[in-house]
Amino acid sequence: MGAGASAEEKHSRELEKKLKEDADKDARTVKLLLLGAGESGKSTIVKQMKIIHKDGYSLEECLEFIAIIYSNTLQSIMAIVKAMNTLNITYGEAAQQDNARKLMHLADTIEEGTMPKELSDIILQLWKDTGIQACFERASEYQLNDSAGYYLNDLERLIQPGYVPTEQDVLRSRVKTTGIIETQFSFKDLNFRMFDVGGQRSERKKWIHCFEGVTCIIFIAALSAYDMVLVEDDEVVRLHNHYCSTVTHTILFICLFKNRMHENVFLEKIKKAHLSMCFPEYDGPNTYEDAGNYIKVQFLDLNMRRDIKEIYSHMTCATDTENVKFVFDAVTDIIIKENLKDCGLF
């Protein structure tokens, strides 16, 4: 009997130890959910977490982005060429009209993700054209990849033999998110699980389970898209409204410029079209600071439970690693503070 009791006690202690370890691990696990409209910067934030809190991108991983970068570059110049007709802009040199036709033909015949010399030569010539540049300056009037200028200005570097994408090249690349992307990393003695459900937004039943046990929702918006409408936006706004008014966990709202072009587009837009065109009740100055803060307040005002939960906001640039690092450090401190509050220790 004594030996049997001793074995049971040992097993019980081991079980208690295991349960305590699991409980401690769960207590240190932070589940983050990224929400926001398409092309708001969610995927860029996920890439930044890999750079900042993991090992970054290996040489092999960087090389895998070459095809994406070339495809982004080609799609960008094609979008500008198409907009030339839509906006009725004349090419600076008549010869560039022929180049535009050649561009469209090559785009249909080359292997996707490649950049043969004939194609890069045409793109370089088109990009120098004054008409193309005038069309690019009006990018707010049509849909254009926000990294278009970055890649097109640097195309000569991108086509050099032995080209290896830099971290900035990788951050600015754009590929449509498909499925649910989970990124895990550790920071400040916490284990983070970050979910981007951008590629599954239309199939709610496939991703709604991601909301279970969420510690924090990070809602991302691009201020430069204040006057744009996407098919998916209604669903995003409904989710934002719902969780602002019902959830009990922390909500972080990030007003986001994916990069400096977004800032420039926003500045250009408010110069041409007063914010009151989209927000009739706005009667403040049409400046970057005032208009930006007003849009931010529109989101913060959706919080119907501000007596018990605060929505924290940050304005950042998703392609600026140091800036994102600083903001995420502040985000983590907020999460720690909220957890301490929930435990009655703050």
Is 146 assigned a ligand-binding role in the annotation? yes
pLDDT of 204 strictly over 70: no
The answer to the question of whether 13 is labelled as a binding residue is no
Instruction: Convert the pLDDT of each residue in 181-195 to its tens digit.
Output: 899 999 998 999 998
How remote is the C-alpha of 59 from its chain's centroid? 23
Of 139, 171, 203, the one marking the end of a domain is: 171
Residue 245 marked ligand-binding: no
What strands lie across the sheet with 29-36, from one edge to the other? 179-187, 190-199, 29-36, 216-222, 250-257, 311-317
For residue 254, name the pLDDT band (cuts at 50, 70, 90): low
Same domain, 41 and 159: no
Among 79-88, 183-192, 193-202, 330-339, the minimum mean pLDDT is found in 193-202
Q: 146 with 158, same domain?
A: yes
Please count the other Cβ atoms lying within 10 Å of the Cβ belonging to residue 316. Answer: 21
Q: What is the CATH number of the domain that holds 324?
A: 3.40.50.300
23-37, 143-157, 217-231: which has the highest mean pLDDT? 143-157
The CATH number that applies at residue 142 is 1.10.400.10
Alpha carbon distance 332, 346 (integer Å)? 16
User: What DSSP assignment string belongs to 203-264?
Assistant: -HHHHGGGGTT-SEEEEEEEGGGTT---TTHHHHHHHHHHHHHH--SEEEEEEEESSHHHHH
Inside any domain, residue 142: yes
Last residue of a domain, one of 119, 144, 171: 171
**What does the pLDDT average to over 257-271?**
64
Residue 113 lies in a domain: yes
Residue type, 144: L
- Tell whether 156 and 197 lie within a shared domain: no
218, 163: one domain: no
Contact 115, 73 (CB under 8 A): yes
User: What's the token pair of residue 48?
Assistant: 């930044």
193 labeled part of a ligand binding site: no
Query: Was 215 annotated as part of a binding site?
Result: no
Mean of per-residue pLDDT scores for the chain:
81
**Where is mean pLDDT largest: 2-11, 81-90, 315-324?**
81-90
Domain shared by 119 and 247, yes or no:
no
Tell me, yes or no, whether 97 lies in a domain: yes
Same domain, 192 and 311: yes
Q: Which residues are catalytic?
A: 39, 44, 174, 196, 200
d(CA 2, CA 208): 52
* Predicted confidence (pLDDT) per residue in 27-69, tens digit: 688 889 888 777 778 889 999 999 999 989 999 999 999 999 9
Would you mind telling me the total number of residues written for the chain in this entry? 346
Last residue of a domain, one of 171, 205, 221: 171
Same domain, 269 and 216: yes
Is 49 within a domain? yes
Q: What is the CA radius of gyration of the chain?
A: 24
Count of domains for the chain: 2
Of 277 and 326, the one with more pLDDT: 326
Minimum mean pLDDT range among 95-104, 229-238, 290-299, 305-314:
229-238
Question: What pLDDT, on a 0 to 100 scale, did the predictor assign at position 290?
Answer: 87
| 18 belongs to a structural domain | no
Would 212 be classed as within a structural domain?
A: yes
Residue 42 in marked binding region: yes
Q: In the prediction, which pLDDT does 143 show?
A: 86
pLDDT for residue 54: 92
Confirm whether 25 is domain-assigned: no
Verify that 137 and 206 share a domain, yes or no. no
Say if residue 199 is in the same domain as residue 326.
yes
| Reported confidence tier of residue 252, pLDDT bands at 50, 70, 90 | low
Q: 177 to each of 38, 198, 332, how far by Cα in Å?
A: 9, 6, 25
173 in a known ligand binding site: yes
- The percent of residues above 90 in pLDDT, for the chain, comes to 39
Rounded Cα distance, 172 and 71, in Å? 12
Same structural domain, 193 and 325? yes
Question: What's the pLDDT score for residue 51?
Answer: 96
Query: Is the per-residue pLDDT at 322 higher than 50?
Result: yes
- Strand duo 190-199 + 179-187: pairing: antiparallel
Q: Is residue 269 part of a domain?
A: yes
Q: 302: pLDDT confidence band, cut at 50, 70 and 90?
A: confident
Looking at the fold, whether 188 and 279 belong to one and the same domain comes out as: yes
pLDDT for 216 equals: 83
Which residue range(s) make up the domain with 73? 59-171
How far is residue 222's CA from residue 241's CA, in Å, rounded to a whole number? 17
Any idea what the Cα angle at residue 218 is, between residues 41 and 189, rounded to 5°?
110
45 and 100 belong to one structural domain: no
What pLDDT score was predicted for residue 255?
Answer: 52
Confidence of residue 23 (pLDDT cuts 50, 70, 90): low
Between CA 286 and CA 232 the distance in angstroms is 28
